[in-house]
């Protein structure tokens, strides 16, 4: 007889069934709510995460503008190069490929592995700015996740000759020094962009967003004449090496327009490989200040002539060769006796300049210095330009008024000094200066009467003739006008006994000046009395002018036998 097993029925309490149902429904509601949140409110995050896997925004670099000299000769130009970058999450690379990649990029495999190890990063550079040929070899490895980015590298054809003017750019093609920095915005332009879909091998499949076209930078045309720039640099370097000087600077101006045709500095550096440039990248002609010494005497004499108290032939007693003012004494290099005002300039008499200064009201001298541009920036548009210093005349003591007459106690830049002499070359009109090529000659400021300007120019011409302090500034076939300067260098504890700054500022042809040149030699060797402006700086002027005047086809205003050999006459040493 068959037996039946009774069914065991477990009956849950009603409250437990209801709790279980509520929990199941709550779980479904949470999942539904999470889905709605992710799809509606947090979808941007998910889209971005998805985009990171297959889409890329490519930067389209703008082409940096060229920098040229006034005749279109290249001073700075950009050349296309490639940068290798990777998206670590997408990279699939084996040991052999890593070694080959490291060899091509001239780096270590450990460095490659370290850069690719962080999968959180979507972009990392493996090597910047390599040649297109090398970049092609990298891509032949066929490593997924490794890409190329087009960039530009800056090249400077004139190298160290124009380094302080042009400057250089950094790794991101942004200006670091010189005009590369000063005009970075105009040169850089605006980058473009392009958003694309790529496969795992890095191939572009589809454009997602229309291309934003890059805007190329503007070209910059400097006022520099590359030929004259080379002449100035070459002769300045010779002088610095010959006189074992610490440094030097030289400026050549177009006397009619104020344009800078050359601005050279030594020591210099190679902007194509700007390493170890500490102390070499400073454009001393614009950012350094120094006491100009006797190159300031023409301004003092100009103030005297403008006052009506003096004429070029007015006599001044400079004997016995020194002048005591309170406890201080001013010296000439040797006693001259009675000198005319013109001879005070020719022989560079400190005593004569001091007596003229002390006879003038302090404000008259102060006004002259300020009108000639001292104590204020020239606004030439170069980074770091110094203003120099001319103290308020209300604080001057008699000894300070006297020493400022021959360039002590006042600080200037070489550019200010060169610019001041444009007034003597242009009938008393002080010209603004420019490092950019000008279309028309600018209108200057009338700071002197035409008569005073002519009289000063005639005095300056006497400086390079027998009896003057700058026979070595003469130029074959051309009349020259100029002034030497020699001053003790100012140190942290006052004037240094055996350290000097030698300078010369001149113009040619003297009959109708076309070029003005200022030269400064910092700390020339004191051996053999070669530290004077007439021996250290004037020869640089002569050598550059001789070639530059002929290069520009400027007519001669003197016969070819106008040179007086310095050894044939007494060499007048300048007072310091």
What pLDDT, on a 0 to 100 scale, did the predictor assign at position 447?
Answer: 97
Does residue 570 surpass a pLDDT of 70? Answer: no
Instruction: Give the rounded distance of the alpha carbon of 429 from its chain centre.
Output: 27
Q: Does 296 share its domain with 260?
A: yes
Q: Look up the CATH number of the domain holding residue 434.
A: 3.40.710.10
Nearest CA to 501 out of 521, 472, 530 is that of: 521
Q: At what angle do helices 538-551 and 226-242 cross, to 10 degrees?
A: 160
* For residue 142, cis peptide bond before it (omega within 30 degrees of 0): no
Q: Does 275 share its domain with 288?
A: yes
User: Could you tell me if residue 12 is inside a domain?
Assistant: no
Domain that holds residue 157: 57-80+151-221
User: Could you tell me if residue 234 is inside a domain?
Assistant: yes
Q: Look up the CATH number of the domain holding residue 199.
A: 3.90.1310.10
What pLDDT, on a 0 to 100 scale, did the predictor assign at position 8?
Answer: 59
Distant-in-sequence, close-in-space partners of 442: CB < 8 Å, separation ≥ 6: 257, 258, 431, 432, 434
SS3 readout for 202-217: CCEEEECCCCECCECC
pLDDT digits (tens, 9 = 90+) for 185-221: 999 888 777 666 655 555 555 555 557 777 888 999 9
User: Could you tell me if residue 450 is inside a domain?
Assistant: yes
* DSSP 3-state of 516: strand
User: Could you tell me if residue 414 is inside a domain?
Assistant: yes
Does residue 81 surpass a pLDDT of 90? Answer: no
What is the percentage of the chain residues whose pLDDT exceeds 90?
61
Q: Does 266 share its domain with 159?
A: no
Least confident of 254-263, 296-305, 489-498: 489-498
CB 271 within 8 Å of CB 160? yes
46 φ, ψ to 5°? Answer: -65, -40
Nearest CA to 480 out of 494, 493, 467, 465 is that of: 465
Q: Does 305 share its domain with 203?
A: no
User: Could you tell me if residue 488 is inside a domain?
Assistant: yes
What pLDDT, on a 0 to 100 scale, did the predictor assign at position 192?
Answer: 74
397 φ, ψ to 5°? Answer: -95, 165
Q: Does 176 share its domain with 232?
A: no
Where residue 569 falls among pLDDT bands split at 50, 70, 90?
very low
What pLDDT, on a 0 to 100 scale, did the predictor assign at position 530?
Answer: 85
What pLDDT, on a 0 to 100 scale, did the predictor assign at position 139?
Answer: 87
Q: Does 424 share its domain with 463?
A: yes
Q: Does 502 share its domain with 451?
A: yes
Q: Does 217 share its domain with 258?
A: no
Q: Report the 10 Å Cβ neighbour count for 448.
A: 25
Where residue 11 falls among pLDDT bands split at 50, 70, 90?
low
Does residue 417 surpass a pLDDT of 70? Answer: yes
Does residue 82 surpass a pLDDT of 90? Answer: no
User: Could you tell me if residue 30 is inside a domain?
Assistant: no
CB 140 within 8 Å of CB 257? no
Least confident of 156-170, 273-287, 466-480: 273-287
Apex 563 CA angle, 293 and 528, nearest 5: 50
Residue ending a domain, among 191, 221, 251, is 221
Residue ending a domain, among 221, 243, 269, is 221
Q: Does 542 share its domain with 501?
A: yes
Q: Does 213 share its domain with 256?
A: no
Q: Does 207 share its domain with 290?
A: no
Domain count, the chain: 2
Q: Which residues carry out catalysis?
A: 294
Q: Residue 448 is encoded by which pair of tokens?
A: 């002197």
Q: Does 320 share its domain with 462?
A: yes
Q: Residue 202 is encoded by which pair of tokens?
A: 């890095």
What pLDDT, on a 0 to 100 scale, did the predictor assign at position 541?
Answer: 98
The residue whose two tokens read 């020869």 is 539
Residue ending a domain, among 199, 221, 243, is 221
pLDDT digits (tens, 9 = 90+) for 504-527: 999 999 999 999 999 999 999 987
Quote the strand ranges of 26-178, DSSP E: 55-60, 67-68, 74-86, 124-130, 146-155
Where residue 353 falls among pLDDT bands split at 50, 70, 90?
very high
User: Could you tell me if residue 29 is inside a domain?
Assistant: no
pLDDT digits (tens, 9 = 90+) for 24-42: 888 888 888 777 766 766 6
Rounded to an integer, what distance in angstroms lies between the CA atom of residue 329 and that of residue 535? 26
User: Could you tell me if residue 103 is inside a domain?
Assistant: no
pLDDT digits (tens, 9 = 90+) for 284-318: 999 999 999 999 999 999 999 999 999 999 999 99
Average pLDDT over residues 225-234: 98
């Amino acid at each position: 007889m068959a037996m039946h097993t009774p069914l065991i029925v477990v009956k849950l309490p009603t409250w437990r069934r209801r709790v279980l149902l509520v929990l199941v429904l709550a779980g479904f509601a949470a999942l539904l709510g999470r889905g709605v949140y992710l799809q509606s409110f947090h979808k941007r995050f998910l889209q971005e995460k998805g985009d990171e896997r297959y889409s890329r925004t490519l930067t389209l670099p703008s082409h940096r503008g060229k920098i040229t000299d006034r005749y279109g000769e290249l001073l700075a130009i950009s050349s296309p190069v490639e940068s290798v970058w990777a998206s670590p999450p997408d990279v699939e690379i084996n040991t052999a490929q890593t070694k080959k990649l490291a060899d091509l990029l001239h780096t270590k495999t450990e460095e490659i592995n370290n850069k690719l190890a962080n999968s959180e990063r979507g972009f990392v550079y493996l090597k910047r700015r390599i040649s297109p040929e090398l970049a092609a070899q990298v891509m032949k490895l066929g490593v997924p996740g490794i890409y190329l980015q087009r960039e530009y590298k800056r090249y400077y054809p004139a190298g160290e000759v124009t380094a302080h003017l042009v400057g250089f750019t950094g790794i991101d093609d942004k200006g670091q020094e010189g005009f590369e920095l000063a005009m970075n915005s105009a040169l850089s332009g605006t980058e473009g962009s392009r958003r694309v879909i790529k496969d795992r091998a890095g191939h572009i499949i589809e454009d997602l967003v229309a291309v934003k076209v890059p805007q190329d930078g503007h070209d910059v045309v400097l006022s520099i004449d590359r030929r004259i720039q080379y002449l100035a640099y070459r002769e300045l370097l010779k002088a610095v090496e010959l006189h074992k000087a610490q440094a030097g600077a030289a400026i050549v101006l177009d006397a009619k327009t104020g344009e800078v045709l050359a601005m050279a500095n030594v020591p210099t550096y190679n902007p194509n490989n700007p390493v170890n440039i500490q102390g070499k990248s400073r454009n001393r002609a614009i950012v350094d200040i120094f006491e100009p010494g006797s190159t300031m005497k023409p301004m003092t004499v100009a103030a005297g002539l403008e006052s009506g108290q003096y004429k070029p032939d007015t006599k001044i007693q400079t004997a016995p060769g020194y002048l005591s003012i309170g406890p201080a004494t001013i010296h000439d290099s040797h006693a001259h006796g009675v000198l005319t005002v013109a001879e005070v300039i020719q022989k560079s008499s400190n005593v004569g300049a001091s007596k003229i200064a002390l006879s003038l009201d302090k404000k008259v001298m102060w006004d002259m210095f300020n009108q000639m541009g001292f104590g204020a920036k020239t606004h030439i548009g170069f980074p770091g330009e110094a203003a120099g210093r001319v103290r308020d005349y209300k604080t001057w003591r008699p000894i300070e008024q006297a020493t400022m007459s021959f360039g002590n106690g006042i600080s200037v830049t070489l550019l200010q000094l060169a610019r001041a002499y444009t007034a003597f070359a242009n009938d008393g009109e002080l010209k603004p200066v420019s490092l950019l090529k000008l279309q028309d000659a600018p209108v200057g400021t009338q700071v002197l009467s035409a008569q005073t300007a002519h009289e000063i120019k005639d005095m300056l011409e006497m400086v390079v003739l027998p009896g003057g302090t700058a026979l070595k500034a003469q130029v074959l076939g051309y009349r020259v006008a100029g002034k030497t300067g020699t001053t003790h260098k100012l140190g942290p504890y006052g004037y240094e006994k055996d350290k000097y700054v030698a300078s010369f500022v001149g113009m040619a042809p003297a009959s109708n000046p076309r070029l003005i040149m200022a030269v400064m030699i910092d700390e020339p060797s004191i051996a053999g009395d070669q530290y004077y402006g007439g021996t250290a700086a004037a020869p640089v002027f002569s050598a550059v002018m001789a070639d530059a005047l002929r290069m520009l086809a400027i007519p001669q205003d003197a016969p070819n036998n106008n040179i007086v050999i310095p050894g044939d006459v007494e060499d007048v040493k300048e007072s310091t």
